[in-house]
Amino acid sequence: MTLSRASKSPTVREFETTIAAVDGRDVELEETYFYPEGGGQPADRGTIGGIGTETVQKRDGAVVHTLASEPSLEPGSEVDCTVDDAFRTYCMRAHTASHVVYGAGRRLFDGLGYAGFDIGEEKVRIDLTTAEPIDDADLVELGRRSNRAVWDARSVTWERLPEAKARALEEISFNEKTEAGAMAEGQAESDQRVRVVTVGESTIGDESDGKPWDVAACGGTHVDNTRQIGPIEVLDRSNPGEGVTRVEFAVGPTGVDHAADVRAAVREASRIGGVPVDELPEAVARLQEEKAQLESELEELKAEVVVSRLSELSTVERDGATWAVGALEGLESNVVTEGARAVVGEEPDEPDVVAVVDGDGNGAPSVVVASTGEVDAGEVIDGVTDAFGGGGGGSPTAAQGGGLQADPAEVVAHLRGE
């Protein structure tokens, strides 16, 4: 059985070893420093005998390297192997960063739980369970504390401990499902040992509480000091399941570029708004208030315009009632309904019924009817839909219909009793 030495010796990038087995494109090595996919960390990339790896996986306790093409290798022969330096370094930084972010979360949220993580090509996600939802302010503080832990240059160490001793460690994160690689393989259950990764106390900062920043059962590859991570850029959050918040962050170029884009956007907003950067929140709040006020005034003006146009409709006498009937274009049905209700009334100069057809020519016409109640508006709509199709309904004082299969002028003539 071949085990990976990547977690124990993460800085090894080149090594020579013996071919243990070959099955088509699948190769097993007597000794390997390739990290097999697992626990949220992707498989290492590199070459074996000059052929690129497609993936590296654990299968039945062995590390199997699947190559991009079938090799001409024989069991027992020596082979040179190279682990892709850039990708391994990225994964080490990203994996340690996830521990740093979790350590920051434990200092922010009561009862924090861990539900897994994943290293992507450009960003990393970590799933957290919290008693309360994580809001924008929490996200900002999570990033601030994570980067402070990077600046503090905290040591990162790993060791294998008896399982009972590992579980007894204060505040250890121990998720057997997501960190199966932390459990040593090929050992009797009574002698089971667990790989524990510790992000230590601050060495240069002033926020140390005397406790390690994070302690976790973990089988991944890591840097040996948080300063090697570089800036951690918290990107966003989402909710993939009940009680779970997914936090996405980036390290390396993606994080640097995102931070630069955000700063550029903030400065541009500051320039356009004519206010200093630190006054942007207050300026935006004022603009929102002004926008709401203008929208309210606009709605009032729209209502006044509708009432004015409805008041100008020609009238006709039908069955002892005065009807104001006509076609108007480009008005919302609900706005027309409210306006029509305002126009009908008990006064002699006010119509008993207002019937308005939407005559903008786009699609099937619609109709709005408002009444004092002496003429049933709902029955008027029923009569219109019986004559021209469509559907609708309402109360005796206000009703709407739509989908009429007729020209607006025909519907107006029908309503006028012509």
Band of residue 180 on the pLDDT scale cut at 50, 70, 90? low
Q: Which is nearest to 313 in space by CA: 375, 372, 355?
A: 355
Q: How far apart are CA 267 and CA 233, in angstroms?
A: 18
Name 243's Cβ contacts closer than 8 Å, sequence gap at least 6.
Answer: 129, 130
Q: Largest Cα–Cα distance in the chain?
A: 109
**Percentage above 70 pLDDT, the chain:** 93
CB atoms within 10 A of CB 406: 18
183 pLDDT higher than 60: no
Q: What band does 192 get if pLDDT is binned at 50, 70 and 90?
A: confident
Q: What is the pLDDT of residues 248-271, one digit of tens each?
A: 999 999 999 999 999 999 999 999
Give the model's confidence band at 359: pLDDT under 50 very low, under 70 low, under 90 confident, else very high.
Answer: low
Return the closest-CA partner of residue 138 out of 110, 119, 96: 110
Q: State residue 176's pLDDT score.
A: 57
* Mean pLDDT calculated for residue range 237-250: 91
CB-CB contact of 328 with 359 (8 Å): yes
Amino acid (one-letter) located at 82: T
At 205, is the pLDDT very low, low, confident or very high (cuts 50, 70, 90)?
Answer: low
pLDDT in tens, 64-109: 999 999 999 999 999 999 999 999 999 999 999 999 999 999 999 9
* Beta strands across the sheet bearing 113-119: 113-119, 124-129, 244-251, 232-241
Q: 124 near 117, Cβ under 8 Å? A: yes
- Residue 409 pLDDT more than 50? yes
Question: What torsion do the CA atoms of 88, 92, 97, 100 make, to the nearest 10 degrees?
Answer: 170
Give pLDDT, residue 182: 55
Lowest mean pLDDT among 163-167, 197-201, 205-209, 274-278: 205-209
Instruction: Tell me which of 236 and 361 has the higher pLDDT.
Output: 236
For 325, the 3-state DSSP assignment is strand
Average pLDDT over residues 309-334: 82
Whole-number pLDDT of residue 352: 87
Dig out the tokens for 410 from the structure.
Answer: 């025909």
> Between these two residues, 130 and 2, which has the higher pLDDT value?
130
- Comparing 143 with 416, the larger pLDDT belongs to 143
Q: Can you give the pLDDT at residue 188?
A: 46
Q: In the predicted model, is pLDDT for residue 9 greater than 50? A: yes
Dihedral in degrees, nearest 10, Cα atoms 145, 151, 155, 156: 60
Question: Quick one: pLDDT band at residue 24, thresholds 50, 70, 90?
Answer: very high
Which pLDDT value is given to residue 119?
96
The string of pLDDT tens digits covering residues 112-153 is 988 889 999 999 999 999 888 899 999 999 999 999 999 999
What pLDDT does residue 181 have? 55
Question: Higher-confidence residue: 184 or 9?
Answer: 9
Helix axes 85-106, 136-151, angle to 10 degrees: 120
Q: How many CB atoms lie within 10 A of CB 248?
A: 18
In the block, residue with structure tokens 């509480």: 209
The C-alpha atoms of residue 267 and residue 306 are separated, in whole angstroms, by: 43
**The one-letter amino acid at 348:** P
What sign does the dihedral 261-267-272-275 (CA atoms) show? positive
**203 pLDDT more than 80:** no
**Res. 33: pLDDT tops 50:** yes
Which pTM does this prediction carry? 0.75
Position 159 confidence tier, pLDDT thresholds 50, 70, 90: very high
Among candidates 319, 284, 301, which has minimal Cα distance to 416?
319
The torsion angle over the Cα atoms of residues 54, 34, 177 and 145, rounded to 10 degrees, is -110
The residue with greater pLDDT, 331 or 98, is 98
Residue 186: what pLDDT? 46
User: Which among 17, 23, 22, 16 is positioned nearest to 74, based on CA atoms?
Assistant: 22
The answer to whether the CB of 327 falls within 8 A of the CB of 357 is yes
**Per-residue DSSP letters for 171-216?**
T-B--TTT-GGGBPSSS-GGG-EEEEEEE---SS-S---SS-SEEE
Long-range contacts of 183-190 (CB under 8 A, 24+ apart): 183/217, 183/219, 184/160, 185/1, 185/3, 185/61, 186/1, 186/3, 186/61
Q: How far apart are CA 215 and CA 7, in angstroms?
A: 16
Query: Going from the N-terminus, what domains does the chain have, and what CATH number goes with each?
Result: 14-83 (2.40.30.130), 89-272 (3.30.980.10), 309-415 (3.10.310.40)
Provide the β-strand partners of residue 358. 328
Instruction: Determine the pLDDT at residue 229.
Output: 96
Burial of 137 (0-12, 13-18, 19+ CB in 10 A): exposed
The H or E element spanning position 300 is: helix 280-311
Identify whether the C-beta of residue 350 lies closer than 8 Å to the C-beta of residue 382: no
pLDDT reading at 398 higher than 80: yes
- Give the mean pLDDT of 236-257: 92
Express each pLDDT in 283-313 by its tens digit.
Answer: 999 999 999 999 999 888 888 888 888 888 8
Mean pLDDT of the chain: 88
